[in-house]
Amino acid sequence: MRADSHEIPVVSADPAHDALADAVAQRLGASRLPLASWRAGAGGAVVVWCDEDGLALRGTAASGAGPVRPVAPTNARPGRDPLVRAAGPWTQVTDATAGWGGDAAVLAAAGREVVLVERNPLLAEILDAAIGRWRAAGIAAATRMRVVRADARAALAVRSTDVVVLDPMYPEAAAARRPGRARKAEAAHLLRQLVGDDADQAELLAAARRAARRRVVVKRPLRAPPLAGDRPTGTLTGRTVRYDLYAPEEVTE
């Protein structure tokens, strides 16, 4: 079930970050929750967490899980990343389902100019803040990342781009916790608490195919059916996911 951003409270990890928490709460129209109240079990399943590393999402104190935030771009991945291969050699990429920004970070580190489209205002706030911190830290890939706060269908209707990347939420492949992957499981769990499931997948794929000049890349679990039942023109397979490739509705040379 999707939660409204203004219903998710903002918690400051300590008094040094109260000003940040107050500003975020004001921008989002959210409430401020005292740290002691969060520790006592108030605040629901997810809160906005403000600490020395900026903004994050965090679950309940009882869960024992730490805050989750976007991970900075890195060039440390060995070999040729299947997502980079799937996106091809073209420069302009729109990640229309930005989420935590992981795919966008990989593509930006590989030299692509990436627009991250995120319709959830809270997640967009967290992404924007993270990218600002990475730029301030001198991470070059972050200068190639830009957040657009909009519904992807509307954004794609007025945007032409080389490649569109889609990674919609997939209900049947939700956040099963796997040994050794606790952080990824927690990130998926919190994201689902915030944004719910994507019920507009067919519309999103159609909008992506109209906006893309070169191709659309759809990230899917290995055994999942094609998005919206639409058969891809090609597929690249990774260790745990596959990338389905779709031709644009109209190819522009």
- 224/173 Cα distance (integer angstroms): 8
Residues 16 and 105 in one domain: no
pLDDT at 251 over 70: no
Residues 35 and 98 in one domain: no
Residues 58 and 104 in one domain: no
State the average pLDDT for the chain: 89
Q: Is residue 30 part of a domain?
A: yes
**pLDDT value for 2:** 53
Two tokens, residue 16: 């040094």
Residues 118 and 12 in one domain: no
Domain final residue pick, 14, 36, 63? 63
92: pLDDT confidence band, cut at 50, 70 and 90? very high
Q: Is residue 238 part of a domain?
A: yes
Residues 98 and 170 in one domain: yes
**pLDDT value for 198:** 63
Residues 40 and 144 in one domain: no
Q: Is residue 73 part of a domain?
A: no
pLDDT, mean of residues 23-45: 95
Residues 93 and 199 in one domain: yes
Residues 172 and 88 in one domain: yes
Domain count along the chain: 2
Residue (of 243, 230, 183) closest to 204 by Cα position: 230
Amino acid at residue number 154: A
Domain with 230, as residue range(s), is 82-246
Per-residue pLDDT of 183-217, as tens digits, reads 788 888 888 888 876 668 899 999 999 999 999 99
Burial per residue of 53-87, b for 16 or more beta-carbon CB atoms within 10 angstroms, e otherwise: ebbbbbbbbeeebebbbbebbeeeeeeebbbbebb
Q: Is residue 251 part of a domain?
A: no
**pLDDT value for 84:** 94
Residues 44 and 9 in one domain: yes
